[in-house]
Structure 1
Amino acid sequence: MSGARKGGTAAPWLLMLPALVIVLVFFGIPMAYMLRMSFNLHIDQRLYVPGFTFEHYGELFSNPLFTGAIWTTVKLALTASFATVVIGYGFALLVWLKPAGWRLLFVGLALCPLLISEIAIIFGWWMFFPKNGLMSYALLSAGLITDKVSLMYTEFAAFVGLVYITLPYCFFILLSVMDGIDRRVLEASADLGAGPFKTFREVLLPMTRTGLAVAFSQSFIWTIGTYATPSALGPDTLWTMGFLIQDQMLGKNNWPMASAFSMILVLGVAVMMAATRSLMSKREAFHV
């Protein structure tokens, strides 16, 4: 009996062992190397000099340029994640309530951004935001503006690009959570006299709060580490952590500082994941 119990306890770990080995080899070892690199010295124009110093971490939080980039990255990631969750929730709710015949169409529409590379998406926005782009032409034709306008190389363009990239992931997370809800609870709420808004606020929203937390955290993780979209669509003054990591590593040949920036990003992602996990019960975590 004791042997069977031990075998049942070890079975999940044996099933996860191949995945754990892959994570350790391809993520754990490089992460440990990057952590060690962040404490090395940077002298002259050499990439790094073996040593041990906390100087790079101290500079991260004392240099106004670096602290400004950290704040800009977090602010942009938070606002983009909030917008993504709001839009994704509305889209997922629409698909969930639609008949099955419409579902395939909307799911295919949500899959489209995942079938295109990030570079191709950026080129698409380059044709949409400029002064002679599609958006300016549409607004001018509709009579909403009297002269052509350009939103290219603005923080708004970077914001829209980030929302577009992360929206499909948010949508599928929320849709999977809604699919686990019995629609009859909405009918029961209506039978008890609750209006649509009250049903949403007191029935549907509490039942999907875990999905909202997971969707927000996933969107935040994607947006805080994205480099290409903010750099290509935003202004030259939009210095994010991804941009500074690239600049420190390739422009200034300062690998320890780039590694320190990367470790701060990893720490931020870990904090977000821990915060999301703390909001979930074991049953909710298993369902999501």
Structure 2
Amino acid sequence: MTEKPHPGDVLYDTERRAMARRKAVAPWFLMLPALVLVLVFFGVPTLFMARMSFNLHFDQRLFVQGFTFEHYVNLFSNPVFTHAIWTTVQLALMASFATVVIGYCFALLVWLKPARWRLLFIGLALCPLLISEIAIIFGWWMFFPKNGLLSYALLSSGLIHDKVSLMYTEFAAFVGLVYVTLPYCFFILLSIFDGIDKRLIEASADLGAPPLKTFAEVMLPLTWTGILVAFSQSFIWTMGTYATPSALGPDTLWTMGFLIQEQMLGKHNWPMASALAVVLVIGVAAVMFITRSLQSKQMSFHV
């Protein structure tokens, strides 16, 4: 019979190193199909888009092969483009902050409720995901106008004395963005809450801590990573979306998404549209990098 290798033997050490290598490589093999799809359908088009942003544009032709930084210079020197960038960032920040606050409160409510209520609330949160963005926009078109549901409800309750229209305002675009991104934020935060032992709240109360102190010193540190992830996801979504702010907001609400489609379809300037898209991608990547850095610091601090 062949003797099994013992600790300290050369064969034993070789088998251990081989097993460690297999364990290290196994996750990459499992992720390989997804990585290939990402590289083929996202990586390669992104490279083509980056190359397109340096091409020339003289007349009504879509582009002319060449190399120039003119589009990036124009992007940060033309007030139209700089204002659109600032408007997009500002709207995304406000919508993301509101989404995190509402999603956090909703997730906390679902987490604290008994199990029989949980399925009902989760089904309610899934409703926006079961409807297309276009259908959601049509719904807001029936809610915000002067003869819409909101104006009728406010008039019936006596809060206003004349019909009011919030359609085609920045507030309508803000509400639409929050509504679209809220489910993603909610499920991210709920998954974080599900990993917390509810007895920690009871222990904090038993030690005499008021609810606000329990939230600040117990719940907030434990859910900080989820807040960062939810905020980054909401910010990324609202930065890149085009249909909702364009359909609900005013004509003066020029976002980066609006300018990208205008440059590509209206002015047939593909290099400028690509430059706008590249800046948008870089901004999103920067947000993801900052969020990841804050997560690492927070986790290492608590450990």
TM-based fold match above 0.5? yes
Question: Which SS does the other structure have where 2:250 is aligned?
Answer: coil
Aligned to 1:118: 133
* 1:7 alignment partner, one of 16, 22, 32: 22
Give, in whole Å, the separation in 1 of the partners of 2:132 and 2:212: 39
Aligned to 1:127: 142
- Gaps of at least 5 residues in structure 2 are 1-13
Q: Bigger shift: 276-285 or 5-14?
A: 276-285
| Amino acid in the other structure paired with 2:139 | G
Correspondence 1:102-251 to 2 at 5 A: 102-251=117-266
Task: Pick the structure with greater CA Rg.
Answer: 2
Given the two structures, how large is their TM-score scaled by the length of structure 1? 0.97
Superposed displacement of residue 3, structure 1: 2.4
Q: Bigger shift: 93-102 or 10-19?
A: 10-19
Aligned to 2:81: 66
Given the two structures, how large is their TM-score scaled by the length of structure 2? 0.92
Query: What stretches of structure 1 move > 6 A for 4+ residues in a row?
Result: none
Residues paired across the two proteins, number: 285
- Residue 66 of structure 2 corresponds to residue 51 of structure 1: yes
Give, in whole Å, the separation in 2 of the partners of 1:283 and 1:217: 16
Question: Which SS does the other structure have where 2:272 is aligned?
Answer: helix
Superposed displacement of residue 284, structure 1: 5.5
Give, in whole Å, the separation in 2 of the partners of 1:267 and 1:209: 25
Aligned to 1:273: 288
Aligned to 1:257: 272
| Amino acid in the other structure paired with 2:21 | K
Correspondence 1:91-110 to 2 at 5 A: 91-110=106-125
Superposed displacement of residue 4, structure 1: 2.4
8 Å contact from structure 2 (residues 142, 148) kept in 1: yes
Give, in whole Å, the separation in 1 of the partners of 2:189 and 2:220: 11
Q: What is the RMSD computed on CA atoms of the aligned residues?
A: 1.3
Give, in whole Å, the separation in 2 of the partners of 1:284 and 1:117: 37
| Amino acid in the other structure paired with 2:175 | V
Question: Which SS does the other structure have where 2:77 is aligned?
Answer: coil
Give, in whole Å, the separation in 2 of the partners of 1:205 and 1:270: 26
Identity of aligned residues (%): 78
* 2:40 alignment partner, one of 12, 22, 25: 25
Give, in whole Å, the separation in 2 of the partners of 1:227 and 1:180: 35
Superposed displacement of residue 10, structure 1: 1.5
Give, in whole Å, the separation in 1 of the partners of 2:166 and 2:55: 42
Give, in whole Å, the separation in 2 of the partners of 1:247 and 1:40: 18
Question: Which SS does the other structure have where 1:185 is aligned?
Answer: helix
* 1:77 alignment partner, one of 92, 117, 120: 92
1:216-251 Cα offsets, whole Å, 9 max, x none, are 000000000010000000000000000000000000
| Amino acid in the other structure paired with 2:22 | G
8 Å contact from structure 2 (residues 246, 258) kept in 1: yes
8 Å contact from structure 2 (residues 225, 298) kept in 1: no
Question: Which SS does the other structure have where 2:55 is aligned?
Answer: coil
1:164-186 Cα offsets, whole Å, 9 max, x none, are 00000000000000000000000
| Amino acid in the other structure paired with 1:33 | F
Superposed displacement of residue 9, structure 1: 1.9
1:169-219 Cα offsets, whole Å, 9 max, x none, are 000000000000000000000000011111111100111000000000000
Superposed displacement of residue 7, structure 1: 2.0
Question: Which SS does the other structure have where 1:231 is aligned?
Answer: helix
Give, in whole Å, the separation in 2 of the partners of 1:248 and 1:98: 50
8 Å contact from structure 2 (residues 53, 273) kept in 1: yes
- Gaps of at least 5 residues in structure 1 are none
